[in-house]
Structure 1
C-alpha cells in the first residue's frame, strides 16, 4: 500500500490489490460510512473531477478506480498509447475529495484462466457498440468486478458516454446489484468540446477543428427547440455542419430513443442525439438529450 502525502498533512491512499480495497471497505462499513465509487481509466480531467466531487457530496467515503481496462479495447485500438499519469491523478483525486485510489495491474483484475463474460444485449448493438464490438462486454466485465470488490452504495458515470451509462444501468437492474447509478452532466472546454482524456491526442490544428462537434449539436438543439421534428432534416443539419470542417471524418450521426437506444423515425418523446467523429486519427463522441 502506498500513501501519497499532500499539503496540510492530508493524505490519500493508493492501493494495488483487491485484498487491500476490501480490507479498507470493511473497516469503513463497520464504522457506518457510505461509499461512492468513480470508475475511471485515469489521466483524469475536470469531467472526472466533477464526478468525484459529486460522490464526495453524497457519500462519506469515495473510491476512485484508475485502471486502463484491456478487455474493452479491440484490435488496433489505443490500449498501448492511452495516456497515463498516476501522480497527476492522485493530486486531482485528493483535491476533489476522494479517499482511496484503486490502481491495480491487469494481472490483479484478470486471472490467466478466467472464462466469465458479462454482456448486455440490445443496448450495445447500435451507436458505439456497432463500431466497437468487444467494447461494452469489457466495460460490463470490469465494472461488475469493481462493484463486487468495492460494494459501493452509489457509482458515478458521465453522461458524455451516454450508451455506457444506459448499459450500466441495465446491467445493475438485471443482476440485482444494490447500487444507485448516478449520471453526471458533460463537462466542456471553453469552446464547447466535451472533456475527454483522448483530447490530448489532438494536434493544435485538430484541437481547433474539434469544436465543430459541439457546434453541430447546438444547431440541432436550436432546430428542435424551434419545433423541427423531422429526423432526416436534423441529421442532415448535423452532417452538413460537421462536413464543413476538412479535418473531420464522420463515424455516425444517430437519433435514438433515450431509454431503448433504438433509432426513431419521428420525434415525439425523449431522444438522444449522438455523434462520433474522427478528427484526424482521434475518435471523439458527444451527445445531448432532448425531451419533447
Structure 2
C-alpha cells in the first residue's frame, strides 16, 4: 500500500487495474485492493474522469485509459533506452542470431524495455513491458553490480530471494560475492537461475559518468550453447552497450559530456 497520500493511492489503483491484464470489474478490484469499498470507488471515478482509466458501462469493467497510453508513449520516447538502442539491438541480433534483451532498473526490479527474438525462437518469461527479478537475471545482476555501493543494501533488501531453480542465488551475502565477480570480469551470467535451461551473458549500460542506465544481454539455452561460448560474445556486447551509453548520455545528460569550449574557459 502506498504511503504517498491520494496520488499514491491512485497510482496503486492504476497498478491494480494494469495487473489484471484484461478488463476488470469493480468486485474483482475490490477483492485485491487494500482500500475500503468507498475509497476504491472514489479513486476509480477520479481516474475515469481524468481519462487515466476507461469504464465500459455495458460490461461494468475498467481498463487503462487513452490518456495513460499517451503518457506511456511519451515516457517511452523520453525515458526508455529503447528508442536510442533500437538500431544497435537490430545489429547485435543479426550478428548473434540469439535472443537479445534490453532492460532498465525499475526500483528494485528489472523492466524489460525491448527484445529481439532468436532466429530459432525459444519460449521464455521475458517480454518487453514485463517486470522481472533483479537477483536472478543476467541483466538484473549486471545492473546491480554497478550501482553505487551505498544503494545496494536497500536494493538487495527488496529482493524476494525466491529459489526459482536449484541454481538461484538466495541470499544477499551470496549476491554480494557474485557482484564482486561480475565487476571483476565486466559481465554477468544467468546460469539457469531464473528458468531451467535458459542461460545468458549480460553487460551494464553506463553513462559516460558511470551511472547505470540499463543492461544488454544475449540469451540462449543449454541445449544449443554454454556459458563459455556466450562469454566469447561479451566484448562485442560491451562495445554496443558503450555506444548506447554514450548516445544516451549525449541526449539525456548532455552536461556529463565534455564541452571543449567550456573546458578552455
Range class of TM-score, shorter chain = 0.3 to 0.5
Structure with bigger gyration radius? 2
TM-score, normalisation: structure 2: 0.33
TM-score, normalisation: structure 1: 0.30
Larger RCO: 1 or 2 (CA < 8 Å, sep 6+): 1
More helix by share: 2
